[in-house]
Chain A
Amino acid sequence: MNRWIEKQRHLIDFTASSLARRKGKSLGLLVVYTLLVFVLASVSLYTHALRNEATRVLAGTPEIVLQRLIAGRHDLVPPGYVEKIGRMRGVQKIEGRLWGYYYDSVLKANYTFMVPADRNIAEGEITVGPALERSRGLAAGNGISFRAYSGELHTFIVTGVLAHESELVSADLVLMSEADFRRFFAYPEGHYTDIALWVANPQEVRNVGRKLIDALPDSRPILREEVLRTYASVFDWREGMMLALLSAAILAFGIFAWEKAAGLSAEEKREIGILKAIGWETGDVIAMKFWEGFLVSLLAFLLGYVAAYVHVFHFEFALFAPVLQGWAVLYPSFALTPRIDGVQVATLFVFTVLPYTAATLVPIWRAATTDPDTVMRS
């Protein structure tokens, strides 16, 4: 065993010296390779953590949200619906939700205005989300005016800012009283944006959903399980433009690595010829080249992964966030909880380390099995 280890160390000695002789080329390869792993691992870690976080945070979302649709579009729930649903068997609790969007032309940003179910907000006062506090420079006690769709200017006093830690769900919220909300959007009395309802028996949620469609054919129930399913799949890392764009980079690297690994240079061929002429066995030459491919790809994987981890969980995915933001002016700034999927890391390892290692071996095996004289002369 000791002899075997000593032999492998000598082979690594030789490989390291050979790489050091081609310093620029070897370093260049390592840097490009590390960058590729960094980008892939960043996207993968970020989406996995975000998917987990979204699923955890939304676990308590209403069991059913009922919308009313007119001509395929979301419309206000008219008076009478809440009472009608309240009489339905299996429905435990029912609430009309009041929320809507507001475009702030000062900041060119969209806010979500909402009447909270859990707190009373006095008329003329609002509680804002952390992104609003940041981008409009608001603080408790400040006044802010919004121009309603009717053209009137409404002034509110900010009485509180939602906690920064909850930014993932609350960044763009503006919480206000029901009276203010109805006045601001000119919402007719008794109308709601949609209805949230809870079912006594969790097994009955689907049945209640079906009964709702039967009783109110113009309605669309959205079940909690569907919301969670949507978010479980929305950030699937195989989807999305980012990976589609990345595929070009992956392909370019594939060509680069294949060219580097598979096409032996004349110098390398001569080296193999000389090694064989002085008594190296084919197995030794292959082992030496295996170490070269394996060490380069392993190092690139480790360094790229560590850099990606730091980027995603310590620097909030700063390099790629602009791609995800699109045209949005308000964007939540949140530190994700690191959730690392072992299978995902293993997949990344297999797809980055193995192909390169294998690609280095094939041409070497071909060159190492031919006659040293032929190899040196070719």
Chain B
Amino acid sequence: MSRPSDRVLGFTLLAAALFAATFVDAALRRGTHEAALQRTARLAEDLRLSDPVLFTEARYTRHPTQADLHSAFQDHPVAFEHFPSGSLLPPPALLLDRHEPLDREAAPSD
């Protein structure tokens, strides 16, 4: 281990071994988490839950799938959305799917 290349390659190999170890660790942890994940899925099914608890600050980020398109701007006309987590969640695709065609098809009022 006197040559610089041996040291560099040895260190790189060590890093590569750690990299490979993450995949082994992931497989092991998946095995141990599986039962808990199934129990969680069962609880969600039994309680009829529709959304995971990602952001509890606003109703449209706590239950994005149950929100309507206006709930982010609910406070007053032309209100800005003010909850930070709203920036992390795009509006659910199902809302846009329905509102966009409506928007295009609706005739402007005179």
Which residues of A pack against B, CB within 8 Å? Answer: 9-10, 12-13, 15-17, 20, 50, 53-54, 56-62, 65, 67, 69, 72-74, 95, 97, 101, 109-112, 114, 116-118, 129, 131, 162-163, 165-173, 175, 194, 196, 220, 222-223, 226-227, 229-231, 233-234, 239-242, 295, 298-299, 302-303, 305-306, 309, 313, 324-332, 335, 337-340
Contact = CB atoms under 8 A, between A and B. Distances in A.
A180 to B, nearest CB: 16
Contacts of B59: 101, 110
B99 to A, nearest CB: 10
Interface centre among B5, B23, B89 (most CB of A within 10 A): B5
Interface string B6-32: 011101100110110111011001100
Contacts of A65: 50, 66
A271 to B, nearest CB: 16
A195 to B, nearest CB: 10
Contacts of A303: 15
B75 interface: no
Nearest to A110: B56
B48 A196 contact: yes
Given A16-B8, A223-B94, 15 more contacts: A58-B41, A58-B49, A60-B44, A61-B48, A74-B66, A74-B71, A131-B53, A166-B39, A170-B49, A171-B53, A173-B47, A226-B92, A302-B15, A305-B22, A340-B23
B22 A231 contact: no
A72 B88 contact: no
9 contacts: A58-B44, A60-B42, A172-B62, A173-B47, A220-B68, A309-B25, A324-B85, A326-B85, A328-B55
Given A74-B68, A240-B88, A302-B15, A12 B8 contact: yes
Given A166-B43, A326-B57, A227 B19 contact: no
B108 interface: no
Interface of B: 3-5, 7-9, 11-12, 15-16, 18-19, 21-23, 25-26, 29-30, 33-34, 36-37, 39-59, 61-62, 64-71, 74, 83-85, 87-90, 92-94
A248 B47 CA distance: 43
Interface centre among A309, A325, A326 (most CB of B within 10 A): A326
Interface centre among A16, A17, A114, A194 (most CB of B within 10 A): A16
A324 to B, nearest CB: 6
Contacts of B44: 57-58, 60-61, 166, 169
Contacts of A163: 39, 43
B48 A110 contact: no
